[in-house]
Structure 1
Amino acid sequence: MTLPRPLPEPRSRAPDIVRVASGNFLEMYDFMVFGYFAAAIGAAYFPSDDPLGTLLKSLATFGVGFLMRPLGAVILGSFTDRYGRRKGLLLTLALMSIGIVTLAVTPAYATIGVLAPVLILFGRLLQGFSAGAELGNVSVYLAEIAPPGHKGFYVSWQSASQQVAVVVAALVGVALSSVLDAAQLAAWGWRIPLVLGCAVVPFIFLLRRHLRESDEFERRGERLTSREIARSLWAGRGAVLGGVALVLMTTVSFYMITAYTPTFGKLLHLPERANLWVTAGVGLSNLIWLPLMGALSDRIGRRPILIACTVLAVLTAYPAMAWLVDEPSIGKLIAVELWLSAIYASYNSAMVVYLTEVVPASVRASGFSLAYSLATAVGGFTPFIVTWLIGRTGNLAIPGAWLTGAALISLAAVLFAHRQPIVPSADGLGTKGPAAS
């Protein structure tokens, strides 16, 4: 009689998933709040007679934090590869917390003058520095604690925690717009979501303090020094650039359908509260698709999903946006955003775990983080870039063209890069093999 195959231990690992994903939630929550209230933040810190100019300055400040991510990826990622996933995750959380507090308490330009935008810029740069390794640390940790054959499902919870942040931040925005008028929101109401983010910091620290180190990291013998890690990353710069191209569609599509949606809705003259509801719906859609498609990638492999999603984005992104802006409505906005959400979440669920599999274990956190952060340094500027392009061309559908370009680059990376990736072996340490994933 054949005994049934034992099931993985999701319950015993679930607390670690929650502990590691909680900080990822905080990082994305703060990014989303900044994106949702970009116009109000711009008015507070970058006052100008030109509303578009004020918005562009605010969106540029939102994006400039992404420029610090590559530096954070190398410095903090190498720290994590050398001293452990747990210590790295605690360090990125500490730096992230300083950034969010700075944004929450800095007085407006009218109160302290030019020091206000300087402090806001400092807060964003510090957040970008910490975020450069946070996402990579979380993804690598989840990949290393996953049972064999379930990496896609486990790693998908890194992105899923971000979607919870998208939903929560949007619902907070809806609630505020229900009880405060536009003048109150612009004057001080936008600070409330940031203060709420500060309030949960101690709780997240408490969760992460009890995080256990991954078994795979502890099994590793000799660990590279920071200099050796940097040398390895430089030697593998071709693979890193391939990873950047692979990640690009994720970062462009994510910030376009989440952080930029309230601003884009305003440009379409759609109701502000309805735009936030649409954004919450996008986050919920992403949250559903991510673990489902992550589990599917465990069954059929990563590359079929990556190819299908990039092709769909190339074929449909611009036509969908053109259809939306022809006669804008909330119904059309919902339809387009949910379609792009399905493409983004399906692609991302396979892409993130694929990236953890093609980076050698000795530089896994730093290599993953560097590739992802370099792509985010481009994709994170999506709200600024597409707003500038709309201003220059007058074409409200231009965000679709921007996404199409990113999808073409990622499709090329999937087709031509990493033909022989490192795929997980039975012991989880990785072996060279064909691109089965």
Structure 2
Amino acid sequence: MAFLSQSLAPVAASHMSVSRRRVIVGTTIGNALEFFDFTVFSFLMLFIGPLFFPAASSYGQLLLTTATFGVGFLMRPVGALLIGSYADRFGRRSAMTLTLFMMGLGCGMMALTPTHAQIGMVAPLVIVLARLIQGFAAGGEVGAATTLLVEHAPASQRGFYASWQFGSQSLGIFLGAIMVAALVEGLSQQAMNEWGWRVPFFIGMLTAPLGWYIRRRLEDTLVIGLSTSRSQQARARAASSSPLRELFGWHKLTLLKSVLLMLGAMVSTQIIAFYMPAYAARVLGLPTTSSLLASVVVGAVCFLLSPLVGWLSDRCGRKRVICISRLLTLVVIVPCFQWLNAGPSLHNLLLIIGLLSLLLTLQTVPGITMLPEMFPKSVRTTGMAAAYGIGVSVFGGFAQFFVTWLLQVTQQPLAPAWYMMVTVAMSTVVLLWIRDRTGEDIDGGANQVGS
């Protein structure tokens, strides 16, 4: 995370205090850990499948392991609602401390669980439980972290601040792919099967305490800017409130719009960042190292461009940036898959992945910023977390499982592209009915952090 802290300085050194840099590093470390974990699990499925689902065929092992990858997404809406509500009542920092502990616990379970050959059916059950715990934590993590970033930011820089949420996820993808590539290249097949695949999860488990320590020093935005007496009153009101009742009672339409707003980004992220590199190896026959390099490119492009796209959305407006990027995605996605299928090579794969990663960043960063801007402060974390958690669970989490099944049934190599096109188009239409609040005071002057 020192690299992340250093990279902030040249971008906005004159506009950002040390405390705000600490906020960015402290909030984003959880997102980086989350996507690091999902990235390494995605790439290590070929090792995990035979160890925990030995009775199935090779296709069955892949399907079961992919379903185990996706099952964690089932808990995201639950975690989003419960942890989001907790954050709106007792503070964003407290919620983020809890989610980081649970992520570390899930990584530890993955790292330490014996295989099916050692403890039988208990082994896959523990792995599934670990994914459920991580999914629950991730559901609450994104909402609390993004809300804290947005509420700490000056109104004119919310896009830049929130961009580090997606940027840190991309950094997690980058580091996860690099680590798996190093393990695959440096260890024998036997060593990978015996212990090598566990190494990334050990590292994830050990990273969590560092993040917990950093987050303890963050200033919570639930009552930021208030005097001691008013702060105590605000905390008492928040603690006695019911964010879930308010969200589903008064903000149902806003929640629906926010879920559909992120539909295209959720599916695009899963297909571009996780499925497409694996697709190149399994369907097109490219070497495993090619898919790992593709993920490195995804992580690097999205990480490096995220702050720039956030800054751009602050200047040009969120909706404009999202609309342009999605229209370009609709134009190029099918030709990209056709080109890759016609000439499967590492060169073509990296070019296509790089282009799609650029478009993914252009639509996702402004979208993530818009979510907390759509909700009032009393339900902001709950609404943001619910929109993200439901969207990821319903549309993103099982995208790989659905596309794997779709390819098997239809034998149509363009199936992922068509699925992505439909979801991006639907999400773009919904965007027309959402107000762009770029640069506006989203709290009406209350508890707003000054620039």
How much has 1:335 moved relative to structure 2? 1.4
For normalisation by structure 1, the TM-score amounts to: 0.92
Q: Select 1:203's aligned residue among 192, 205, 210.
A: 210
**1:229 partnered with 2:229:** no
- Aligned pairs for 1:119-130 (under 5 A) are 119-130=126-137
Please, which moves more after superposition, 214-223 or 301-310? 214-223
Structure 2 partner of 1:92: 99
Q: Deviations over 1:229-284 (max 9, x none)?
A: 11122122222111111111111111222222442122111111122112111100
Query: Aligned partners of 1:349 and 1:311: how far apart in 2?
Result: 16
Query: Aligned partners of 1:40 and 1:409: how far apart in 2?
Result: 36
**1:281 partnered with 2:297:** yes
Q: Select 2:404's aligned residue among 361, 365, 387.
A: 387
Query: Aligned partners of 2:373 and 2:258: how far apart in 1?
Result: 11
Q: Deviations over 1:381-431 (max 9, x none)?
A: 12211111111111222111111111012101111x324x666545x5248
Which amino acid letter does the alignment assign opposite residue 251 of structure 1? M
CA gap 1:95/1:218 in 2 versus in 1, 3 angstroms? farther
CA gap 1:92/1:269 in 2 versus in 1, 3 angstroms? same
Structure 2 partner of 1:245: 260
Structure 1 partner of 2:319: 303
Query: Aligned partners of 1:262 and 1:312: how far apart in 2?
Result: 21
How many aligned positions are there? 423
Which amino acid letter does the alignment assign opposite residue 131 of structure 1? A
How much has 1:119 moved relative to structure 2? 0.6
Q: Deviations over 1:325-344 (max 9, x none)?
A: 12211111111111110111
Any idea what SS the aligned residue of 1:279 has? Answer: helix
Identity of paired residues, percent? 35
**1:342 partnered with 2:358:** yes
**1:410 partnered with 2:424:** no
Structure 2, unmatched stretches of 5+, are 1-12, 446-451
Q: Select 2:147's aligned residue among 130, 137, 140.
A: 140
Query: Aligned partners of 1:13 and 1:396: how far apart in 2?
Result: 46
How much has 1:182 moved relative to structure 2? 3.0
> Contact 1:76–1:133 (CA<8 Å) still a contact in 2?
yes
Any idea what SS the aligned residue of 2:155 has? Answer: coil
Any idea what SS the aligned residue of 1:54 has? Answer: helix
Any idea what SS the aligned residue of 1:395 has? Answer: coil
- Aligned pairs for 1:16-415 (under 5 A) are 16-214=23-221, 217=224, 219=226, 221=234, 223-224=237-238, 228-235=242-249, 236-267=251-282, 268-377=284-393, 378-415=395-432
Please, which moves more after superposition, 209-218 or 194-203? 209-218
Query: Aligned partners of 2:177 and 2:252: how far apart in 1?
Result: 38
Any idea what SS the aligned residue of 1:259 has? Answer: helix
CA gap 1:127/1:340 in 2 versus in 1, 3 angstroms? same
Query: Aligned partners of 1:247 and 1:121: how far apart in 2?
Result: 26
How much has 1:187 moved relative to structure 2? 3.7
Query: Aligned partners of 2:124 and 2:56: how far apart in 1?
Result: 17
Please, which moves more after superposition, 231-240 or 400-409? 231-240
How much has 1:218 moved relative to structure 2? 6.0
Which amino acid letter does the alignment assign opposite residue 369 of structure 2? V
How much has 1:216 moved relative to structure 2? 5.4
Which amino acid letter does the alignment assign opposite residue 408 of structure 1? A
Any idea what SS the aligned residue of 2:195 has? Answer: helix
Structure 2 partner of 1:435: none
CA gap 1:337/1:216 in 2 versus in 1, 3 angstroms? farther
For normalisation by structure 2, the TM-score amounts to: 0.89
Query: Aligned partners of 2:263 and 2:34: how far apart in 1?
Result: 19
Query: Aligned partners of 2:443 and 2:438: how far apart in 1?
Result: 9
Any idea what SS the aligned residue of 2:262 has? Answer: helix
> Contact 1:36–1:260 (CA<8 Å) still a contact in 2?
no
Structure 1, unmatched stretches of 5+, are 1-5, 432-437
> Contact 1:360–1:422 (CA<8 Å) still a contact in 2?
no
